[in-house]
Structure 1
Amino acid sequence: MTLTKAPDFLAYDRDGELGVDVLQAAFSGPAFERHAHATFAIGVTMRGLQRFNHRGRRHTSTPGRIIAFNPEDPHDGEAADDSGFAYWMLYPDTGVWERVLEDATGRADPPFFTDTLLDDPAVARIFAATMPALQARATDTAAPRESLAAESRLDLLLLALALRHGRASLPGRPDRDGDAGAVARIREILHAGFDSDIRLDDLARETGRSRFQVNRAFQAATGMPPHRYLTNIRLEQARALLAAGDSPAEVAAAVGFADQSHLSRRFKAAYGVTPGRFQSAYRV
């Protein structure tokens, strides 16, 4: 699935001081191809039917439902019918959640969400009230002296989500014939060499597995085959470099994309915005 046309509406903003990204969007067709984020991705469907594939199942979110993706949770997205859908999405850095939980509970462990769709009208109302305040703060359009309200609502939202719906830690996955070690080694190779041309034969040789076993074990452990995981690493690296002010052409070369056009296509398909629009959010 790819982003085949421009969204009906999309506003993406970054609040670097608070450590959150804010997205407000509406789509009438395919929205995002399969991808994952380094951060949590928490959203609320505001209008229409929002359909996506996640953890081997197809889900449909209706207005007022909360969507919860953990870091590196692969997912896609599209409208479930011709009427389209609209939603808010919040991307809090892991450190933000750790700070909130340590302040409130004395423990800094970020939550893990076992359920993708959460039915909690009270928290959904908090979410709907929080997002416009965060967006206004990120774009510097908030009324003077309104930072306290935005920050307080964000803390309340994250704490409620963690305590009501999050587990303390990631549940373990069964290890098939020692696959955990092979998967860990593949991750190391992909993260260390994301800017180079990595071959499937290289991964097989390094792990003592066949090419088929490499793909099977890695897909089972991460929800993505190695090549898509590598693309995701490159995109996350691109986000960091764009935020630092590097030009899209420089970023494309640095993270391993063929050219700026290739970066732009993959970036927009995954995040719904061009590299330039994303970069401008960090310069507000």
Structure 2
Amino acid sequence: MEEFRRSTALPHLEGRRSCRDTPCYRPHAHDTFSIGVIDEGTSVLTGPPAGQILLRPGDVVTIPAGQVHACNPHEGRWRYQMIHMDQSWAAALTPGGADSHLFAGISVLRRPDLNRRAGALGEVIFADDSAERIEAAFTEALGALDAAEPEFLVGSSTDPELLDVLRPVLEHLRNDEVNPSLDELARLVGMSRFRLIRSMKRATGLSPLAWRQNVRIVRAEHMLRRGVPIVETAHALGFADQSHFHRVFRAHVAASPGVYRG
């Protein structure tokens, strides 16, 4: 079961309700700030460099933009909600602002009241409430999340200095219409291909080609939300065919492009 809803009043807000019993996500990152709510079952959160964290019913997980992670069901049915939003908007509503622990890394929070508050955020999105009601609900919830002590806090997996060194590689991966070779990418920054792979994983949490796929899928989400047809989206992003696009999209989003587009 997959259900997506976008706010009419605040289009950057997206809610998701999902139920899974098999592994569904590969490591990925969003360009949004995300709040996850575990409603039923257990799941395993993997977020380099932290290893694995077992999530339980009632847990609330906050994930900053750009933080690599994957979450998959553990021993049976797993029902959860996700709320995605513009990170600068979320920071403006948070008492700690951009310096809050919510934006410093993945936080796992274990308090029933926080679960109820976070779950209510999905309700106002699915109800398509007014901007005023939505902002009031998010201001209250983000304030409570900001004030809470995390059960786990996983620091950011990115390395800003190394990202600057790798910027020519990232630009090439972002803009090239075909997969560039590792040797070609390594020459751009004077590294061996093996050092490049290690450096990319340290800087971004992903290998070069995995990072490129993630960028393409984030772009695909934006296009599909705007109503761009699936075939046109796949072609614009350089996928060999629609079948290949479906496979890669599902591995990152755990839903088909058609279900996501709505």
The TM-score with structure 2 as length reference comes to 0.86
The whole-number CA distance in structure 1 between the counterparts of 2:172 and 2:9 is 32
Residue 94 (1) aligns with residue 77 (2): no
Residue number in structure 1 paired with 2:143: 159
The superposition leaves residues 125-149 of structure 1 with CA deviations (integer Å, 9 ceiling, x where unpaired) of 2112232222121xxxx6xxx6644
For 1:6-155, list aligned pairs within 5 A: 9-18=1-10, 19-56=12-49, 57-82=51-76, 84-101=77-94, 111-137=102-128, 148-155=132-139
The whole-number CA distance in structure 2 between the counterparts of 1:219 and 1:236 is 19
CA contact (8 A) 1:238 1:251 kept: yes
CA contact (8 A) 1:113 1:165 kept: no
Q: CA deviation at 1:109?
A: 6.2
Amino acid at match of 2:57: P
Change in Cα spacing, 1:60 to 1:15, as seen in structure 2 (3 Å) is same
Amino acid at match of 1:215: I
The whole-number CA distance in structure 2 between the counterparts of 1:80 and 1:171 is 24
Residue number in structure 1 paired with 2:167: 184
Q: Percent identity?
A: 26
Change in Cα spacing, 1:79 to 1:36, as seen in structure 2 (3 Å) is same
Change in Cα spacing, 1:129 to 1:155, as seen in structure 2 (3 Å) is same
3-state SS of 2:114 partner: helix
For 1:215-226, list aligned pairs within 5 A: 215-226=197-208
Residue 266 (1) aligns with residue 252 (2): no
Amino acid at match of 1:212: F
CA contact (8 A) 2:4 2:16 kept: yes
Change in Cα spacing, 1:13 to 1:174, as seen in structure 2 (3 Å) is closer
Q: CA deviation at 1:85?
A: 1.2
The whole-number CA distance in structure 2 between the counterparts of 1:214 and 1:117 is 32
Residue number in structure 1 paired with 2:232: 250
Change in Cα spacing, 1:192 to 1:159, as seen in structure 2 (3 Å) is farther
Amino acid at match of 1:214: L
CA contact (8 A) 1:13 1:23 kept: yes
Q: CA deviation at 1:254?
A: 0.9
Residue number in structure 2 paired with 1:200: 182
The whole-number CA distance in structure 1 between the counterparts of 2:31 and 2:158 is 19
CA contact (8 A) 1:268 1:275 kept: yes
The whole-number CA distance in structure 1 between the counterparts of 2:108 and 2:22 is 21
Report how many residues are paired: 256
Q: CA deviation at 1:230?
A: 0.2
Q: CA deviation at 1:202?
A: 1.5
Change in Cα spacing, 1:162 to 1:243, as seen in structure 2 (3 Å) is same
Amino acid at match of 1:157: A
| RMSD over equivalenced CA pairs, Å | 2.7
Amino acid at match of 1:80: H
The superposition leaves residues 158-212 of structure 1 with CA deviations (integer Å, 9 ceiling, x where unpaired) of 2333454699x9698496xxx444323322222233x333221121110000000
Unaligned stretches of 5+ in structure 1?
1-8
The superposition leaves residues 203-236 of structure 1 with CA deviations (integer Å, 9 ceiling, x where unpaired) of 1110000000100011011111011000001101
The whole-number CA distance in structure 2 between the counterparts of 1:186 and 1:60 is 34
CA contact (8 A) 2:109 2:148 kept: no
The whole-number CA distance in structure 2 between the counterparts of 1:206 and 1:147 is 46
